[in-house]
Amino acid sequence: MGKTTTDSMPKRKNPKYFKNTRMQQLFSELEIEVTKENTDKIDEVIHDMLSVDYPNSAAAWKMVRKKLDGEDPDGFKQRLKTALDMLDL
C-alpha cells in the first residue's frame, strides 16, 4: 500500500472552502495562519477529524458547516485547535 499523507500527494491549490468567509473567520478565531506551506496539512487534519476521504473538499466543507451549526460548535473549534496545534504550525 502507498502512503496516504500529503508527502506523497501532489501539491494542490488552497481548497475552495478555505476561501469561504466563515472558514477564514474560524482560522482567525483559532489563531491559525494558513499559508501555502501548511494548507495541505491543515486540510488533511480537518478531513481526518471529520472522517472524510482526503481530498474531498466539498464533503469536508459540508461537515465543517454541520459542526459549526450543530449542538457543540465551541467543542468542535477546541478539538480543531488542539489538532492543529499538534502540527506546530
Rounded (10°) CA dihedral 78, 80, 82, 84: -150
How far CA 46 is from CA of 1, 27, 83, in Å, comes to 23, 12, 9
Number of helices (H) and strands (E), helices first, in the chain?
4, 0
What is the reported pTM?
Answer: 0.83
Q: Where are the domains of the chain?
A: 33-89
User: How high is the mean pLDDT in each 10-residue block of the chain (89 residues)?
Assistant: 50 84 98 95 97 96 98 98 92
